[in-house]
Amino acid sequence: MTTALSPGGHFDLEDPPSVDGLRACVHCGVCLPQCPTYSVLGEEMDSPRGRIYLMRAATEGRAEPTATMARHLDLCLGCRACETACPSGVPFGHLLEAVRGQFYRKGVRAPATDGARLDLVLRSVRRPRRLAPFFRALRWYQRTGLQGLVRSLGVLRALPKLEGMETLLPGLPADSPALPELIPAVGRRRGRAGLLTGCVQRFLFPDVNWDTARLLAAAGYDVVTPAEQPCCGALHLHAGRLGEFRRMARHVMATFARDLDVIVVNAAGCGSALKEYDRWLPDAAAATFARMVRDVSEVLAESELPLRQRRGRVAYHDACHLAHGQRIRQEPRQLLQKIPGLALVELPGAELCCGSAGVYNLLEPAIGEELGRRMAERIHQADARVVASGNPGCLMQLRRHCRARGLDVEVVHPVSLLARAMRDP
């Protein structure tokens, strides 16, 4: 899907957007109700077909890439809901990543976008272990009561973006021991599974990684967790930093042993990026690696687990890069329905973006707030005491806005519910 650019275009031949993909859009408008930014802003150029128009105009040389154009692209959450809705099969996510890459290399940036904050985040996650002191400081901030004092005095109100970041923080767990590099299978052995621990998940939700490992072992897998895992590069890919993304992807591929049967990911955004390594690294090794990657729900949904009864009503929220990026919708629901006594209720608009979108809610807090508020209202309508979602960013966003809405709701990863219901072998 890399048709050569037409003469006179403003983009170079390094990772060009697909001309065929751009021209596949017939501007029918089916995508409009699914687009988060269009639903909030109501602007045509902040809709999928409007952005396609801009990308195509620059690709074909009819419009110069400008800061205004960059801003319309920056406002996109990259949720890819438009891809699911599109009857013409427009690969919007790939087009967006390629065009953002062109803008980045040309140095075209929108002043209204918080590029400095994005650069800081991308630099920070390159080497996840360097984040450990930062999260230790945040844990101290919470445990000493300083967080409560800061919030009660409204110290951060004059800095809304910093305040938004602070309110997203979940309660940080105590230092969790690192997963052992090998957890043997329990019972009949099915194979060897590599586990990606994530660059943020390992610090904010280490219990999810431990629960994932326990469940995989109970399902018959030897669980291999490389100690020095790098960042998968998903945030860099979505930001158009394609050169950095490729370097990080090759590092990830080199980290996991070749004798694995499957590589399991429990974060939707990471899984979506890993499954597309072969698109951006067109070689046999990347293709083999990408085929091995599976979301934890895909693996466990087809496994037998020793589960005991757990009563309650659970609403499932579709993380965008699981539902739209990986087209995985039924497996997480099937997985939750394995728990005897659990009632799974459908969340109205479960497939719509919650406003997290990687670090979007940090960069564009106004739109992120509105989308988070809407999702909390849908959770209220579902009348469930537990909400399950398969992505760490979504977990933080949903917890924050359920708390702000005053809802008595627990927001957890699906594997956490499975782990609670699992009987000791």
Measured CA to CA, the distance from residue 257 to residue 224 in angstroms comes to 9
What's the predicted TM-score (pTM) here?
A: 0.91
Helix (H, G, I), strand (E, B) or coil at 224: strand
Distance, in Å, from the CA atom of 117 to the CA atom of 125, rounded to the nearest integer, reads: 13
Q: CB-based burial of residue 144 (10 Å sphere; 0-12 exposed, 13-18 middle, 19+ buried)? A: exposed
The CATH superfamily of 312-421 is: AF0625-like (3.40.50.10700)
Residue 235 pLDDT greater than 80, yes or no:
yes
Phi, psi of 95 (to 5 degrees): -65, -45
pLDDT at 387: 96
Angle, in degrees to the nearest 10, between helices 92-106 and 67-74: 140
C-alpha 400/C-alpha 170 separation (Å) is 8
The tens digit of pLDDT for each residue in 263-276 reads 999 999 999 999 99
CATH of domain 19-106: 1.10.1060.10
| Helix boundaries (H) for 256-319 | 268-274, 277-280, 284-292, 296-301
CATH 3.40.50 holds for 182-301: yes
Q: Which residue has the higher pLDDT, 416 or 160?
A: 416
Asked, colleague to colleague, whether 19-106 and 182-301 share their fold, the answer is no
Q: What is the pLDDT of residue 152?
A: 79
Question: Is pLDDT above 70 for 60?
Answer: yes
pLDDT tens readout for residues 17-41 = 999 999 999 999 999 999 999 999 9
Q: Please report, for the chain, the start and end positions of each structural domain, with discontinuous segments joined by +.
A: 19-106, 115-168, 182-301, 312-421
| Listed residue (120, 187, 136, 137) closest to 363, CA to CA | 120
